[in-house]
Amino acid sequence: MSEHPVTAPDVDDLPGGLQAGVEAILMVVDEPVTAARLASVLGADGADVVAALERIRNSLEGRGYELREVAGGWRFFSRRDFAPFVSRFVIDGQTARLTQAALETLSVVAYRQPVARGRIAAIRGVNVDSVMRTLATRGLIEEADTDPETGAVLYQTTSYFLERLGLGSISELPRLSPHLPGIEELDALDPNP
């Protein structure tokens, strides 16, 4: 099998130039792509690609889709305002929702990452093996590393998880502290004062 690299014209010589080239690539990606990757593929300057991304984002006002920067890259998404309709279209007839157990386990991983399976089970108080397999199969969690002391596999959320939540990084997760009881409420709940 012979290897013939695809020879491409200069993107600026094509109709729409660099901006159209960026749009063409963004139309086929299934996960966010970085501006640096776009610049590399298009043979363009990184700053010019970032400027093109911003122009594209600004030009989509009033459209049913938007360009967002999530999980360290850029991707087209349907506009949040239309989420109920898009959700109905995608979910109709499907039972692809996560179970309560899966959502609880995913929350533990998201807020404690990197975290070992044993720690997750201790927090939840149940065996999490099958739920962890489900989350990994769906691409929401992945192995991150191993604990140097115990050798246990540590898990973290994936860029797909960030993408599905529309977050740029894990630091954008909502804080839990406002939803937790204070010390005075905990004392009131203690059956053995």
- Print the SS3 string covering 123-173: HHCCCCHHHHHHHHHCCCEEEEEECCCCCCEEEEECHHHHHHHCCCCHHHC
- Three-state secondary structure call for residue 37: helix
pLDDT at 180: 63
User: For the chain, which domains are there?
Assistant: 11-82 (1.10.10.10), 100-189 (1.10.10.10)
Q: Please list, residue by residue across 7-16, b when 16 or more beta carbons sit within 10 angstroms of its beta carbon and e when fewer do.
A: eeeebeeeee
114 — pLDDT class (breaks 50, 70, 90):
very high
pLDDT at residue 111 is higher than 70 = yes
Strand partners, 73: 70
Q: Using CA atoms, how far apart are residues 69 and 160, in angstroms rounded to an integer?
A: 13
Of residues 15 and 179, more confidently modeled: 15
Q: How many angstroms from the chain centroid is the CA of residue 99?
A: 19
pLDDT at 55: 96
Query: What integer is the mean pLDDT of 8-37?
Result: 90
pLDDT at residue 139 is higher than 60 = yes
- Three-state secondary structure call for residue 69: strand
- Three-state secondary structure call for residue 78: strand
pLDDT tens for 36-94 read: 999 999 999 999 999 999 999 999 999 999 999 998 999 999 898 998 888 777 666 44
Asked if 49 and 22 count as a contact pair (C-beta separation under 8 A), the reply is yes
What long-range pairs does 43-46 form, CB within 8 A, spacing at least 24? 43/8, 43/10, 43/11, 44/11, 44/18
Retrieve residue 7's tokens. Answer: 């020879």
6 — pLDDT class (breaks 50, 70, 90):
low
pLDDT at 178: 65
CA distances from 103 to 87, 95, 161 (A): 18, 15, 12
Of residues 30 and 35, more confidently modeled: 35
2 — pLDDT class (breaks 50, 70, 90):
very low
pLDDT tens for 144-190 read: 989 888 889 999 999 989 988 888 888 888 887 666 666 555 555 55
If we measure between CA atoms, which residue out of 174, 24, 52 comes closest to residue 110?
A: 174
